[in-house]
Copies of this chain bind each other. A is one copy, B any other.
Amino acid sequence: MAASSSSNLLVLLLLFQPCFLFLSPASAAGRFSLPRKPDPSNAHATARWLASQNSWGVLSTISSDLGGSPFGNVVSYSDGVPGDGRGVPYFYLTQLDPTARDALKDERASFTISEYPLGTCKKIDPENPTCAKLTLSGKLKLVETNSSEAKFALSALFAKHAEMKTWPKNHKFQIFKLDIENLFLIDWFGGAKPLSPAQYLNPGMDLPPLISRA
């Protein structure tokens, strides 16, 4: 009986191991620190892992120069200092570049990252659904200078992109962030995973799944 209880407990522990791994006290507070790829069944952990492990992606805006066409631009970002990602991508942009100018005219934007450059897809094709990809959609907003959020964002950015500290002052770099309204995560077969901003930003929450986009 005691042996049976132990083995049941072991089975339960094995079944829920991903949850124990991902929902540490830090992640329950909206923080995230996980060096290894989560199990694909854990959508929010995979999305947060992608956001915390990558350092660059493509930020798409509605182009004012191109009459409202979409315009994707390669940018660096950070969602926190290494080991303490918070999920919200912060950017260091100059209005010399069209992306920042676009956002100040039309905030709608999406930010796309891939597992492929992390090296964990190995020989799997970048478009294969098991090579995870994440698109965060929402509003690209300027972060108020001298705010506590700006201070946090700057330390997050400089921690992962040290050379930003030396970028020319006269380019007037400003901190932007993506206010996330929608997530599109592919990390396995069967289409996009239902994942809400609340689930993504607070991995400890247990909300009902949303309708998938694909």
Number of A residues with CB within 8 Å of any CB on chain B? 49
Q: Taking the complex as formed, is A25 at the interface, i.e. its CB lies under 8 A from any CB of chain B?
A: no
Asked, given contacts A65-B213, A133-B74, whether A58 binds B112 with beta carbons under 8 Å apart, the answer is yes
Inter-subunit contact B56/A58 (CB<8 Å): no
Q: Taking the complex as formed, is A128 at the interface, i.e. its CB lies under 8 A from any CB of chain B?
A: yes
Inter-subunit contact B114/A116 (CB<8 Å): no
A135–B139 CA distance with the chains assembled, in angstroms: 21
Shortest distance in angstroms between A60's beta carbon and chain B's nearest beta carbon? 4
Residues on B with beta carbons closer than 8 Å to the beta carbon of A133: 73-74
CB-CB nearest in chain B for A102: B70
Contact indicator per residue, chain A 161-201, by CB within 8 Å of chain B (1) or not (0): 10110000000000000000010100000010000000000
A161–B70 CA distance with the chains assembled, in angstroms: 26
Q: Which of B60, B63, B97, B127 contacts A71 (CB 8 A)?
A: B60
Q: Which of B76, B110, B163 contacts A72 (CB 8 A)?
A: B110
Q: Taking the complex as formed, is A109 at the interface, i.e. its CB lies under 8 A from any CB of chain B?
A: yes
A87–B99 CA distance with the chains assembled, in angstroms: 24
Shortest distance in angstroms between A31's beta carbon and chain B's nearest beta carbon? 24
Inter-subunit contact B112/A72 (CB<8 Å): yes
Inter-subunit contact A127/B69 (CB<8 Å): no
Q: Which of B69, B113, B163, B191 contacts A125 (CB 8 A)?
A: B163
Inter-subunit contact A75/B161 (CB<8 Å): no
Inter-subunit contact A128/B60 (CB<8 Å): no
Inter-subunit contact A137/B63 (CB<8 Å): yes
A62–B72 CA distance with the chains assembled, in angstroms: 11
Inter-subunit contact B56/A61 (CB<8 Å): no
Shortest distance in angstroms between A78's beta carbon and chain B's nearest beta carbon? 11
Q: Taking the complex as formed, is A22 at the interface, i.e. its CB lies under 8 A from any CB of chain B?
A: no
User: Which chain A residues (85-112) contact chain B, with CB distance < 8 Å?
Assistant: 92, 96-98, 108-112
Q: Identify 6 residue pairs between A and B in the complex whose beta-carbon atoms are under 8 Å apart, listed by A's number.
A: A58-B114, A61-B70, A62-B70, A68-B108, A71-B137, A72-B110
A: residues with CB less than 8 A from B are 55-63, 65-66, 68-76, 92, 96-98, 108-114, 116-117, 124-128, 133, 135, 137, 161, 163-164, 182, 184, 191, 213-214
